Structure 1
Amino acid sequence: MLNTLVHPAREPSDAVPLVIVHGLFGLGRNFNSIARNLADRRDVIAVDQRNHGDSFRADSHTYPDMAGDIAEVIGSLGGRVDLLGHSMGGKAVMQLALTQPDLIRRLVVADIAPVAYGHDQSQHIRTMRALKLTDLKTRGEADRRLAEFEDDPGLRAFFLQSLDLKADPPRWKINLDVLEREMPNILGWTGAEGPFEGSALFVAGGRSDYILPEHRPVIRTLFPRARIVKLPEAGHWLHADQPREFEATVRIFLDS
């Protein structure tokens, strides 16, 4: 089963658990702050997806695979859940909602649509591979070395969360070989037909081009009860760009 980070409810209630699924190159702990805050009245479980973090390595990385992994986590929780996924994780939770809708009460999809994209992410794999891991002792030194290949400090910090400096030698907690080979599947879409008749919220970054006006018809077809909202000052990593606004938006939807 996937590695999970469990944030128990501080004041238990009858609210169903919330399961959070990260995106490509991410980790469950990317959502630690948001997960802790949303765990005031419900258990919140963040997962490491296959080929990421402390979860298992696999030769396949398709959306049916990822949906099956999430379904197994939900099964271990004993009932329906609310489900939130970002980017690649958003496609995984959409796949699950369209194929096993009874597992999900409410669905939140963060800055992704059920379509194929041309946003190739292979350059990030090349960047991580370029980092010299020999004699690497500190994250600061890793950042200085990575800066030779990536100018954006935010992206460097994001990638370096997946660098295991305790390993000897240090290693990436991301299966770069499989993700590179499976990139066409990750960028694509399965064509799952659904529809998911439950409540769904799509949260778009105002500075992102992942949810565009031309995507709305297919979203409405597959998720007829979907609401689409935008965080104007956020990019694709909207939960990092505007964490409190993102958290408040999710909370209002889940509690309404």
Structure 2
Amino acid sequence: MIPLSDDNPTLRTPIVTYLLLGAIGATWVFVQGAGLDAKVLSASVCNLGLVPGELTGLAPPGLAVPLGPGLDCVVGNEAINRFTPITSMFLHAGWGHILGNCLFFWVFGNNVEDSMGRLRFLLFYLVCGLAAAAAQVVVDPASPIPVVGASGAISGVMGAYLILYPRVRVNMLFIIFIIIRVIPLPAWVVLLWWFGIQVITGLPQLNQLKPEGGVAVWAHVGGFIAGLVLVKLFENRALTSQRTGWRHRLHPDHP
């Protein structure tokens, strides 16, 4: 299932959402070379990505992790490591990674910003990203594998959306062999399904005898839970009430 849009217009231009998408895109192009040069991409992931074992000191310095043919990421103790929970939020591992994250953020981010206000939303996004990073470190504290992506912070936005707009329709693209359909589903169905997939996928990674690389699903889980827990702290109730009244005037039959 791929989200395409939702039936949830905004009252205000989502400036922070646009700026964050712009920052992610600019980082991909100007820092990571748009993925066109494997050495540049690998260097950005290695040097600016979150390596749990570097933060905790549990990964031995000098340990090399292969990132591609002839490309290794070596565990170190550089000063930049302490900032990687932030820098890693703006990095991605490939075109599919960044496009998928940006699509989810495009669909869900603007409405959450509209309900929090711009500054609150920016702080909320960053806090959820940090919570996602913390979750990944807790699950695999000695991992020497760099973790990158905005998906932890975006997961927090999705958790907030679940609380704020559970019954709003989200237009989901289904592709089954040669059958292509766009089906509107309630946001709670879409988001809980997505969250359940993350948990199921991440359960094998809890076996500390078999640390795994790949998708940092526990960062997704941690970010989503942070969004659920923190949304009411960051919500601007005046903006939410204004949005609710406006939506009811536009769609009097909708909940």
| Structure-1-length-normalised TM-score | 0.23
Between structure 1 and structure 2, the one with the greater Rg is: 2
Return the structure number with greater relative CO, CA threshold 8 A, min gap 6. 2
TM-score normalized by structure 2?
Answer: 0.24
